Amino acid sequence: MIMRALVFTEPGRAEVQRVPVPVAAEGQVVVDVERAGVCGTDVELFTGEMSYLSSGRSSYPLRPGHEWAGVVTAAGPGVDPSWLGRRVTGDTMIACGSCRRCRSGRHHVCAAMREIGIADGLPGALAEKVAFPARFLHALPDGLDATAGALVEPGGNAERAVTAAGLAPGERLLILGTGTIGLLAAMIARSRGIEVHLLGQQLGFARSLGFEQAWTLPELPELEWDAVVDASNAPQLPGLAVRLVEPGRRVVYIGLAGTPSTVDTRELVLKDVTAVGILGASAGLSSIAATYAEGLVRPEPLVAAVVGLDDVARVLAGHRPGNAGDGPKILVDPSLRAG
């Protein structure tokens, strides 16, 4: 049997190919993909700028897609059959499960870790179906639809970033960047009673979500920032985050620039600042799914458009669909056909 899947064949080239339908091997399920997200990592893999391509961790041809939700339609040997028919998402970080890091709860930095849709060896979910290890599945709460489900992975990243900031209700958080992760972090922080400010350039959409305290850099008020989360891709902002944060508090880095960033460690030391890096959503997946299900954070307004697989190459090349709203996120419904 054959299905359609997006394939990156070389830098700047993506095409929808007809590939064999996956079969659930031992310990795996097959998921019919309902929604998958397009994110900055996919763009870097498409353009060839992703560092994994130069290090050999990723190579072409590559099948992308690591933000997704769908329904389990097949279960391989050794998999609990109760997964069948359930709407799920999954951890991007697929680890060995037996090394020291995995045993200590750090599977997302396992030396043998593979990343679905990013690193070689695990085809991603920008396809009609995806095979996935049951050990890394997350069942979505009843009532959570596929749109919210596909935003669990970015939401898990944002949830980890907000938690790492270590703030109490009423304290003040500055978030650098108004993309999907930055806005989700702002929504999560607001749901926890934290005073949220945003720094960015295109601020109209952020303000439409109720974040009136959104600033460009020249407008940024001189306030005491109890924590700063850098969710941008600008190489100059990691250093700015350290300069802005209150002494003795935290800076959280979740954004990645395409070129190296400079942080003056003298400022870290002399201000007694804690800097935290966030890699992946693993530890935040279950909690953000519950937060969505409880209605504490509604991620759906971030979705600008839902397109089919045939439209993804244009999206990756920087073209927004003609019917797109103002949100930063494009989702893909693999069942949609061109025309």
The CATH number covering residue 111 comes to: 3.90.180.10
Low-confidence residues of the chain, pLDDT below 50?
Answer: none
Please check whether residues 175 and 272 belong to one and the same domain: yes
Please check whether residues 162 and 147 belong to one and the same domain: no
**What single-letter amino acid sits at 188?**
I
Provide the domain count of the chain.
2
In a domain, 242, yes or no: yes
Please check whether residues 316 and 270 belong to one and the same domain: no
Q: Is the peptide bond before 64 cis (omega within 30 degrees of 0)?
A: no
Please check whether residues 213 and 325 belong to one and the same domain: no
Please check whether residues 131 and 62 belong to one and the same domain: yes
Q: Supply the pLDDT for residue 339.
A: 55
In a domain, 287, yes or no: no
pTM summary value: 0.96
HSE-CB at 215 with a 13 A cutoff on CA atoms is: 14
Which of the 8 DSSP states describes residue 59?
-
Please check whether residues 15 and 111 belong to one and the same domain: yes
In a domain, 284, yes or no: no
Round to whole Å and give the CA distance between 287 and 337. 34
Please check whether residues 227 and 115 belong to one and the same domain: no
In a domain, 310, yes or no: yes
Alpha helices of the chain — where are they, by DSSP H?
A: 40-47, 51-55, 100-103, 146-150, 152-165, 180-191, 204-208, 237-244, 265-270, 285-293, 312-316
Please check whether residues 54 and 135 belong to one and the same domain: yes
Kindly give the pairing relationship between strand 28-38 and strand 129-133: antiparallel
* pLDDT tens-place string over residues 181-218: 999 999 999 999 999 999 999 899 999 999 999 999 99
Residue 306 region by backbone torsions, left for phi larger than 0, else alpha for psi between -120 and 50, else beta: beta
Round to whole Å and give the CA distance between 306 and 255. 24
Round to whole Å and give the CA distance between 93 and 153. 11
In a domain, 289, yes or no: no
Please check whether residues 231 and 272 belong to one and the same domain: yes
In a domain, 286, yes or no: no
Please check whether residues 12 and 97 belong to one and the same domain: yes
CATH number at residue 229: 3.40.50.720
Please check whether residues 35 and 106 belong to one and the same domain: yes
In a domain, 107, yes or no: yes
In a domain, 125, yes or no: yes
Please check whether residues 126 and 169 belong to one and the same domain: no
Q: Supply the pLDDT for residue 163.
A: 98
Taking 3-state DSSP, the helix, strand and coil percentages for the chain, each rounded to the nearest 5, stand at 30, 30, 40
Q: Which domain holds residue 196?
A: 158-277
Cβ atoms within 10 Å, residue 291:
22
Buried-exposed string 116-135: b where 16+ CB fall within 10 A, e elsewhere: bbbbeebbbbbbbbbbbbbe
Q: Supply the pLDDT for residue 293.
A: 97
